[in-house]
Amino acid sequence: MPLLYHSLGKTGFTMLVAFLLIVSITVDVLRRKKLLGEKIEEINRVFGSRWEGHIYFLLGTLIVTLLTEEGVLVAAILMLTLGDGAAALIGTKFGRHKIKKNKSVEGSLACFLACIATSMFISNFYGVDLEALLAGALVATATETFSTRLDDNLTIPIATGLTIQLIQNI
C-alpha cells in the first residue's frame, strides 16, 4: 500500500482504493445473494453472512487516506498489518494471560512492540512526529485489544491515523 500511494499520489491512490472497495462490496453482495454459482456456497459456509476483512481494510484505508497525510496513512496501515498480525501470531502461540476470550497480554504486548518499531521507521522515513506516532501505537494496541463490535481492520487504521494526525497538528 505505501508503495502504491507513493507511485500514484493521493488522488490516484484514493481512486484505486475506492474502486477496489466498490468491486469488493459488489462481489460480496452477489456472494450473499448466491448469484455466483455453486463454488460460492463453500465460501458462504466459511465466511457466513458478514463482510470479509478486506472490505473493512479497504474502507479504513479509504477513510484514513482522505483525512490524513501520507506518512500518517502509512503508519496507520503498517500498525494495523504488523501490530494486528503480531498480536494474532504471538497471542495464539504464547498467550497465557487472557484479557478476554481471544485476547492476551502477550498478544497485546507483541502488537505494541510492532507498532513501536513501525513508529521508529515512520519517524525516520516520513518525518512524522515521534510522540504522535507513539500515541498512535498506544491507540492501535488498545483498539486491537478492546475492539468488540466493529472489525479491527476498520477501527485500528481510523483511530490510529486520526490520533497521529491530531497530535501532529497540535
Q: Where are the domains of the chain?
A: 51-169
Q: What pLDDT sits at residue 37?
A: 58
86, 113 Cβ separation under 8 angstroms: yes
For the cut 60, the answer to whether the pLDDT of residue 53 exceeds it is yes
pTM of the model: 0.86
Looking from the CA of 33 toward its CB, the CA atoms found within 13 Å total 7
Burial group, residue 20, by CB count within 10 angstroms (0-12, 13-18, 19+): middle
27 Cβ contact partners less than 8 Å away, ≥ 6 residues apart: 36
80, 164 Cβ separation under 8 angstroms: no
Q: Which amino acid is at 97?
A: H
Find residue 21's DSSP bridge partners: none
pLDDT band at residue 100, thresholds of 50, 70 and 90?
confident
